[in-house]
Amino acid sequence: MESRNFILKGDIAYSKTQTRLLTSENSYLVCEKGKSAGVFPSLPPAFAGLPLADYTGKLILPGLTDIHMHAPQFTFRSLGMDLELLEWLNRHAFPEEAKYGDAEYAHLAYGRLVEHLKQGPNTRICFFATLHVPATMILMELLEKSGLVSLVGKVNMDRNSPDILREADAEASAGATREWLGAIEKNGPYKNTYPILTPRFIPSCSDDLMRALSAIQKQYALPLQSHLSENQREIEWVRELCPASSSYGNAYAQFDLFGAQTPTIMAHCVWSDKKELELMRSRSVYAAHCPQSNINLSSGIAPARRFLELGIPTGLGSDVAGGVHTSIFRAMTDAIGVSKLRQCLIAKDEAPLTLEEAFWMGTLGGGSFFGSAGLPGNTAATGSFDPGYEFDALVIDDANLTAPFRASVEERLRRVVYLSDDRNIVAKYVRGNPIK
């Protein structure tokens, strides 16, 4: 199955639209040159010569995309969960990230992370690394070898951070970013691993640094990721730091680092008001909805229903280690769960997310960023099996999840989302390449 032209046979499900699943029992999913050629109830003669992997009775789903994760924080998942964001950063995240100045530690820790991710259901991930160039390169090389597709950001941070984890000034930080981009050009380019600009968040980036990053963004046409309106104290802090900005989002936008010509993911958006949401929509800024992290760090519940209503592009993030679970199946059920609590407790007019909507977010919702991020080559979106999408697929053996009654493909999918773990994944393809 090393060729990227092949057929999978089984019970297929994917999001046809944000609200509608398409299911096709005992059908054929065709991969051509790493992209989907479509789903067929019976095999068209044109594909008759391709090798076929027979997964009859098993589920075939799109791979999942995690659009917000901190790679160095994998090591301390579940620790420090009694703290809110800013204390948690200072007491756990920053000291741990500082350790990645040691390449040996980075190799050990990132090695474990990548091995873990290969086993799970995610096929694509947008990573924050640390500010360290060598450690970020180690992560990228491990990821490239893994077969997973990823965007990786060397983090920029030149203020309001501890001495152990802060770049000297804007020039030093931007210089390190150019050095990193140079190393990528020299080592690669990688086939599946791309750089993404990553100013940590407004509080840790000076205006000079943001200006320098804007110049780098324009020169390299890079996508960008950062954090937005996660925690009320954080927002208050941004207001103090940026008195000239009309909102947290505007503090990025004034440097052309908030969507529009800069493909952008903003994590959280828990407390974004109407105006900030409208700014995201008008600039096609992606919301990375990270429900588990928003629970664990007592941040709140993001208005995911509003994201969808307004047409803000939305994907799911694990936000490890604010979140502790890497699987985007878990993020789907967390997203549904918190949306129910949001309606029940504080927003009666916001209907809870359905399974269909959460599944869309975790597949095509986030996967579409890879088609709009301006990545090199013939790069398309993933997360759908419609023709032309990049072929990320999971084969799931759900035999241990079945009931003593006949369940539809849709019901089986629900069970997989809520109940499966990595043992249920019997095969995993990324861009048509098998990686498990």
Footprint of a second copy on this chain (CB under 8 A)? 75-79, 81-82, 99, 105, 108-109, 112, 292, 295-296, 298-301, 324-325, 336-338, 340-341, 343-346, 352, 354-355, 403-405, 411, 414-415, 417-419, 421
Question: Kindly report the CA angle at 255 between 72 and 188, in degrees rounded to 5?
Answer: 45
Provide the minimum distance between the beta carbon of 383 and a second copy in the complex, in angstroms, as a whole number.
22
Provide the minimum distance between the beta carbon of 119 and a second copy in the complex, in angstroms, as a whole number.
11
24 vs 299 by CB, closer to a second copy: 299
Provide the minimum distance between the beta carbon of 342 and a second copy in the complex, in angstroms, as a whole number.
8
Provide the minimum distance between the beta carbon of 409 and a second copy in the complex, in angstroms, as a whole number.
13
7 vs 270 by CB, closer to a second copy: 270
185 vs 236 by CB, closer to a second copy: 236
Q: Which letter does DSSP use for residue 96 in this model?
A: H
DSSP string, 176-195: HHHHHHHHHHHH---SSEEE
d(CA 6, CA 34): 9
With DSSP H G I counted as helix, E B as strand and the rest as coil, what are the percentages for the chain, rounded to 5?
Answer: 40, 25, 35
Kindly tell me the sign of the dihedral angle through the C-alpha atoms of 414, 417, 418, 421.
positive
Provide the minimum distance between the beta carbon of 144 and a second copy in the complex, in angstroms, as a whole number.
22
d(CA 303, CA 276): 12
Token output for 423 = 């043992």
Q: How does strand 64-70 pair with strand 122-128?
A: parallel
Provide the minimum distance between the beta carbon of 421 and a second copy in the complex, in angstroms, as a whole number.
6
Ranges of H-type helices in 94-206: 94-98, 103-119, 133-146, 170-187
Provide the minimum distance between the beta carbon of 258 and a second copy in the complex, in angstroms, as a whole number.
26
Q: Which residues contact 6 (CB under 8 A, 6 or more apart)?
A: 30, 31, 50, 51, 52, 53, 432
249 vs 300 by CB, closer to a second copy: 300
